[in-house]
Amino acid sequence: MAQNNKKSKQKRLLASIWILFILAIGLFGFMVYKQRDVVSEDLGFTTRFSYKTNANPDINALIITYLSAMASGDQDILKSCVTEPSKFDDMSVVQNQSKIITAYSNINCYTVQGIKKSDTIVYAVANISIVGIESTPLDMLGPFYIVDKNGEYLIYNGEISDSTQKYIDKAGKDKDIQELYQMVKKDEEEKAEKEPAFKEFLDRLND
């Protein structure tokens, strides 16, 4: 009889331990589930930067095509990239520039939403090849204002309204965008220190 009572107590003890174990697992699972929700919210509403990097392949392709055409002086391609092709009827400025900057490489697009949800502001950072210069310094190009015209992304090159211009100016003053400018400036200064010909080129530009 005593032995049976002992076995009964052992069974009750094991049952109690098992119940506590199940409750502990349930509590742990609930905590993990809640933590997952917190992480999801953080991912949804908090980002590292105010811009996105190479987020839209179509916009990237547009900017790469446009810059390649600028370097080569390809009038037809330039006209296909913008909202007002007639602005490239006179190619004298582009042709003069293409004699100095011959290529753009390693192009990265940093994008910010435009004043309309369908619009995009693009800041492009690229290495540029300059005639007579061995270095390929970084350059900050843009901002380009991209619009969605009948399902096709184009660079807006018409008259910009005051409200849109103010929006672009405000975006450009953002801390994250300014850090991009500083990154490019630092690269420029470092390369100028190493290559006298590039420093001379910059000095001529700044005169």
**Mean per-residue pLDDT for 38-48?**
35
pLDDT for 8 beyond 80: no
Confidence of residue 49 (pLDDT cuts 50, 70, 90): confident
Which residues are paired to 139 by β-bridges? 126
Q: What pLDDT shows up at residue 144? A: 98
Of residues 22 and 129, the one with the higher pLDDT is 129
123 burial type by CB count under 10 A (0-12 exposed, 13-18 middle, 19+ buried): buried
Each residue's pLDDT tens digit, 135-147: 999 999 999 999 9
Number of domains in the chain: 2
99 and 29 fall within a common domain: no
Evaluated on CA atoms 41, 43, 48, 49, the torsion sign reads negative
pLDDT at 19 over 50: no
Higher pLDDT, 38 or 60: 60
Q: Cα separation of 53 and 2, whole Å?
A: 76
Q: What is the pTM of this model?
A: 0.76
Clarify whether residues 168 and 87 are in a common domain.
yes
Same domain, 173 and 130: yes
CA angle 110, 45, 166 (to 5 degrees): 50
- What is residue 156's DSSP assignment? -
- 14 with 63, same domain: the answer is no
The CATH number of whichever domain residue 71 belongs to comes to 3.10.450.100
Whether residue 84 sits in one domain with residue 3 = no
Same domain, 163 and 109: yes
Residue 78: domain span = 52-206
Distance CA 101, CA 81 (A): 19
pLDDT band at residue 12 using 50, 70 and 90 as cut-offs: low
Percentage of the chain beyond pLDDT 70 is 77
